[in-house]
């Protein structure tokens, strides 16, 4: 197995970007194509954090050696590199098209440069904290691109849960007027409601530590999905909002995506 840096150009951001790409054992010797997992970082972080702090490479090696995770390509991108975090969305104020960067620059580049299976049934996205929001937002807004999404301690917010911090942070720059159509188009609860009409809505799995400051937010999203009848998997564990929790629960998250790849596909 190996991790390699992969530079590319983003037309959405008009900038040079780089990600880390994990390829499975035997990749360079064969012609096989592989499913792809996108592994997203949180606020104040970068594309290297899953490797340097989350032991992602070691976890992937171990699970593939054990046969508990099929051979796949794992991409660890930057969120776009603006401010303290972009939340992987296009910003209302025009600061940057960070969702377009993910969808059209990054995914397109990976499918071109690596032997992927380039369809939603073999593409999943997973993230921690801000990246948990990004994973669910990307999948729920673009179910033709990502068939499954996983959140670890995610900021799974709704406009109804945004309080006084709205006026004191970058949130208003990201989503615009709180009750406006753009903010509503990024509301995870409303996005889940829209996907209920789809034949195959994204498979969702999320978990959170019971001592995490985002625990109540995860509980609220779980309750909302139950109310509207969106099939999902949600679990809670002891733990805080830190790398001990994310490192310890990465394997569980990867197992869910492996199960999604293995599931029979409906026409």
What one-character-per-residue DSSP string does 45-95 give?
--TTHHHHTS-HHHHHHHHHHHTSS---EEEE------TT--TTSB-TTSS
Query: Model's pTM, two decimal places?
Result: 0.96
For 70-120, the pLDDT digits (tens) are: 999 999 999 999 999 999 999 999 999 999 999 999 999 999 999 999 999
Euclidean distance between CA atoms 222 and 207, whole angstroms: 10
Radius of gyration of the chain (CA): 17
Half-sphere exposure of 36 (CA within 13 A, CB side): 26
- Chain centroid offset of residue 190 CA: 18
Q: Other C-beta atoms within 10 Å of 31: how many?
A: 5
Q: Is 34 within 8 Å of 88 (Cβ atoms)?
A: no
Q: Are 165 and 171 in contact, with CB atoms under 8 Å apart?
A: yes
Over the stretch 138-192, which tens digit does the pLDDT of each residue have? Answer: 999 999 999 999 999 999 988 887 766 665 568 889 999 988 999 999 999 999 9
Cα distance between residue 121 and residue 169, in whole Å: 37
């Amino acid at each position: 197995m190996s991790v390699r840096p992969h530079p590319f150009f983003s037309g959405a951001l008009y900038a040079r970007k780089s990600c880390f790409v994990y390829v499975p054992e035997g990749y360079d010797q064969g012609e096989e194509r592989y499913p792809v997992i996108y592994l997203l970082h949180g606020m104040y972080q970068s594309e290297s954090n899953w490797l340097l702090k989350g032991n992602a490479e070691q976890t992937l090696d171990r699970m593939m050696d054990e046969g508990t995770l099929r051979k796949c390509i794992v991409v660890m991108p930057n969120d776009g590199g603006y401010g303290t975090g972009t939340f992987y969305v296009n910003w209302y104020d025009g600061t940057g098209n960070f969702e377009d960067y993910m969808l059209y620059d990054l995914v397109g580049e990976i499918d071109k440069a690596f032997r992927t299976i380039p369809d939603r049934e073999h593409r999943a996205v997973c993230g921690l904290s801000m990246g948990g929001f990004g994973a669910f937002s990307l999948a729920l807004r673009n179910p033709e691109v990502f068939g499954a999404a996983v959140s670890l301690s995610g900021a799974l917010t709704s406009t109804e849960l945004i309080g006084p911090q709205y006026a004191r942070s970058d949130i208003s720059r990201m989503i615009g007027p709180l009750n406006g159509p753009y903010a509503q188009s990024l509301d995870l609860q409303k996005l889940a409601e829209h996907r209920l009409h789809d034949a195959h809505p994204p498979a969702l799995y999320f978990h959170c530590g019971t001592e995490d400051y985002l625990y109540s937010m995860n509980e609220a999203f779980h309750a909302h999905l139950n109310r509207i009848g969106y099939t999902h998997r949600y679990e809670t564990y002891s733990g805080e909002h830190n790398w001990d929790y994310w490192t310890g629960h990465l394997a569980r998250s990867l197992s869910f995506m492996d199960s999604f790849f293995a599931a029979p596909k409906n026409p």
